[in-house]
Structure formats: structure tokens, C-alpha cells
Chains A and B, each alone.
Chain A
């Protein structure tokens, strides 16, 4: 479990996170949603140590990440897999080398074991036989899947996905969502997904945290988000006229 306790973060004079607290449970997909610029990516990057928080605690299974030395953090980071918005694959390496990279850096696996692990991860994301491709030769959806394969190569306990569906068509986005869900349930990973894609929320949102103006505004799941009367959530979820009509008809049905 990952716990965030009273986290505050400022950039210069601008405070971005205000006293945010939340628990992210293992074996479930925890979604952090919100409009652009509200602090959800800053929260996720603070959780993995890419930003230092000003105050508060980030606990990985009761281990306080914020007070750790660099070497201790390195140990926890080896338990973290991260899928980046732009996949962040190393473009000078092939798909296979990308997945092999953390294994060669942090494990004592033999070449055969590493090869088996790479093939297993590629198989898991349905990219068998694509070992020799370079990231520039892969489509957006393939790059995301390679990103997931690299993220799970080290058998992570925690998986962070930063806008995994950005730039993908709805069908491919669902494939990625399903992949994240299957991997989370299969390996009991604590998965945190940053998104503003409502399709994802409805597809995989076991737990949903809504960040607004740098604060945790609302917490629930994919079912309760539809029925909540919180005006900010309503404005976010039912932003378009079409969605507002759906909202009205849902309310009419309920009443």
C-alpha cells in the first residue's frame, strides 16, 4: 500500500499541492483524475521522488520515502514500475534492450534468464517477436505496451501510469486499460493511474481520487462518480453538452 500524508508542494511562490492525503491499495487500480494543471502529475511525480515535497509523508508499505537516503530510495525505486505519458523508451535501444535494461542494471540474471524474462514480458503485452524493433518503428499503442513490458520487467510492487491513453484512439486506449487492469489483478500490484480520460475512469477505476486546485476534492469509485452531486466533479465528468444530456436522463431515471 502507498499512503500519502499531508503532502504540500510549492514551485517558487506558487503552491501546487495543499495538504493532500490518500491511500492507494494493493491489487486495485487507483485513479488520480482532474483537469489539466490541477496538480495530479505533480502528486504522482512527488510520490516517485521526481519532485521533493515541502512537507508531509509518502509511505511505501510504511516505509517513509521522504526521509530516506538516496541509496534507500534506490531500493524502493527498483520496486516501482512507471509508464510515462510519452512512453519514455530509450530511443537508441531496441524493444528488447529497453526491457532488458533494468534487468541488466539491477539483477544478477544470466543472459538466458534475461532473455526469457524479456520474451515473457513481451508475450504478456502481446508483442511477441517484436524484440528487434526500435521505438521509432513502433506505433503509439505499441510504444505504450513496450513501456508496460519494461515497467513490469522487474516484477514491481507499485506501478505508476502517467496518462497511459494520451494520444491513442479509443479502441487502443481500451486495450491499454485492460492490460493495466489484468496485470494489476494478476500480480497484486498497487497501481496508480493519472488520467483525465473518462473512458478509463469507467473501465478501470476501482478507486478514484479527484484533484482540484491542488487539493484532494473527492474520493470514490467509478460508480459513485456518476451519481455524486459535487459540482466540480459534475463540471469535469459531464463537460460536454452531450454528457450533460446523459446526466439529465440518468437523474430522471433515478427519480
Chain B
């Protein structure tokens, strides 16, 4: 339950903030580029929906979570390592890898998809606010765009990516924290490394999963 609080619930504010504003910006940028009379007005809603579901929510939010959750995990486990708390677990006969990582991995693969679905809704809501408040579109046109060519498989694809990214963030960060050697400076370095490597692995995994699932 602590891990759910730490990985899931504590991430809600940043996910909400990022999703709402990025959704608003995506819709405004799309609207500003859709100046051809041949394109129907609801295209803005459709592109916003596709961008958010396919890429922004699963990938960009996961990269942000790699920074927030990943650095936290690496520094938490790293501090446990240098203060001998992991040695204490081992001496008690506890499998420290299982004890420290399994709850985090479970919390991430269960709660990351929930966060991402939340992000999708808020992203589209942000787009709605931006367009309607700016008087660029009516509510009906935007919602028509959101519903146009909606493919439920895209949600499945996005959530599959999210589960993979959640696993990557927690396992890579835990690895760098668990095997840290030295003092507090090294914990800081491990934390930075965990974020960088998680982000790179997420980008590579994103490419591979997209290739496998969409083409």
C-alpha cells in the first residue's frame, strides 16, 4: 500500500498538471496549423485525441515518471544500500531483491496504466478548455473530432506500452540503487544514471512495441 501511495497517488498532481497543459497546447498548435478549408474543423479534435492516446500520455508521461519515480526509487534503495539496511535484510535471511523490488514493480504495472488513462482524459479535457475558451471551436465540433475514427485497439496499445514502461522504470532504477557503492555522492550519481538509462530504454522499447503492435 505504501508503494501504491508512493508510485501512484503521489504522481497524480504532476500527471494532472502536465496532461492538462500539454493537451491544451497540442490542440492549439493543431488548430493553428489547420488553416486549409479542405480540412473539416473536427480534425483538430481527432488529432488531439490520437496524439494524446498514442504518444503523449503513454510515452511522455512515462518519461516524466521516470524522472520522478525512478530517481526516488534509485535514491531510496541506494541509501538503504550505503546505510547497510540491505545487509541487515540479507542477514535476517530476507531475499532483499524480492522484498524491495517486487512491491514496487507490482505497484507500477498496476498503477501506471490507471495514471495514463487519467492523463488521457485530462489531456483531452485540456484541449477542450483551450479551444472552447479561445473560441476556436464549439464543444460539439471538438467532441465530434474526439470520437472520429476512434479505435479501441489504440487504448490497448497505449496501456501495453505503459505496463512495459512501468516495469522498465522500476527495474532499471532499482538496479542502479541496489548496486550502488560508496557514499551519498554515489547515490546521487546512481539516481541520475537511473533516470537517463530508464529514459533511453523507454524510447527504444517505444520504438520496438510500436513496430510490433501497429505495423
Q: Which A residues contact B (CB, under 8 angstroms)? A: 45, 48-50, 73-75, 77-78, 80, 82, 84-86, 88-92, 101-102, 105-106, 154, 160
Contact in complex: A78, B93 (CB < 8 Å): yes
CA–CA, A154 and B93, complex, Å: 12
Residue B94 CB within 8 A of the other chain: yes
A50 contacts across to B, CB distance below 8 A: 87, 90-91
CA–CA, A74 and B96, complex, Å: 12
Given contacts A73-B93, A77-B90, A88-B84, list 17 more A-B pairs with CB under 8 A: A45-B87, A48-B91, A75-B93, A77-B93, A78-B92, A82-B91, A84-B88, A85-B84, A86-B84, A88-B85, A88-B87, A91-B85, A92-B2, A102-B92, A105-B94, A106-B93, A154-B92
Which residue on chain A has the smallest CB distance to residue B76?
A92
CA–CA, A41 and B129, complex, Å: 63
Contact in complex: B88, A105 (CB < 8 Å): no
CA–CA, A197 and B94, complex, Å: 31
B interface secondary structure, majority = helix
A101 smallest CB distance to B (angstroms)? 8
Residue B154 CB within 8 A of the other chain: no
Interface residues on B, range: 10 to 19
CA–CA, A102 and B92, complex, Å: 7
B87 contacts across to A, CB distance below 8 A: 45, 50, 84, 88
CA–CA, A80 and B93, complex, Å: 9
**Interface members, chain B 35-94 (any A CB < 8 Å):** 80, 83-85, 87-88, 90-94
Contact in complex: A86, B83 (CB < 8 Å): yes
CA–CA, A92 and B2, complex, Å: 10
A102 contacts across to B, CB distance below 8 A: 92
Which residue on chain B has the smallest CB distance to residue A89?
B85
B119 smallest CB distance to A (angstroms)? 28
CA–CA, A7 and B26, complex, Å: 66
A82 contacts across to B, CB distance below 8 A: 88, 91
Q: Which B residues contact A (CB, under 8 angstroms)? A: 2, 80, 83-85, 87-88, 90-94
A9 smallest CB distance to B (angstroms)? 17
B85 contacts across to A, CB distance below 8 A: 88-91
Contact in complex: B91, A77 (CB < 8 Å): yes
B48 smallest CB distance to A (angstroms)? 41
CA–CA, A89 and B86, complex, Å: 10
Closest 3 CB pairs of A and B: A77-B93, A88-B84, A74-B93
CA–CA, A75 and B2, complex, Å: 29
Most chain B CB atoms below 10 A, which of A77, A88, A101: A88
B66 smallest CB distance to A (angstroms)? 22
A138 smallest CB distance to B (angstroms)? 14
Some 23 contacts from A to B, beta carbons below 8 A apart, are A48-B91, A49-B90, A50-B87, A50-B91, A73-B93, A74-B93, A82-B88, A82-B91, A84-B87, A84-B88, A86-B83, A86-B84, A88-B83, A88-B85, A88-B87, A90-B85, A90-B88, A91-B83, A105-B92, A106-B92, A106-B93, A154-B92, A160-B91
Which residue on chain B has the smallest CB distance to residue A153?
B92
CA–CA, A73 and B83, complex, Å: 23
B164 smallest CB distance to A (angstroms)? 28
B91 contacts across to A, CB distance below 8 A: 48-50, 77, 80, 82, 160
B93 contacts across to A, CB distance below 8 A: 73-75, 77-78, 105-106
CA–CA, A48 and B83, complex, Å: 17
B183 smallest CB distance to A (angstroms)? 12
B92 contacts across to A, CB distance below 8 A: 77-78, 101-102, 105-106, 154
CA–CA, A90 and B99, complex, Å: 13
CA–CA, A80 and B91, complex, Å: 7
CA–CA, A78 and B87, complex, Å: 14
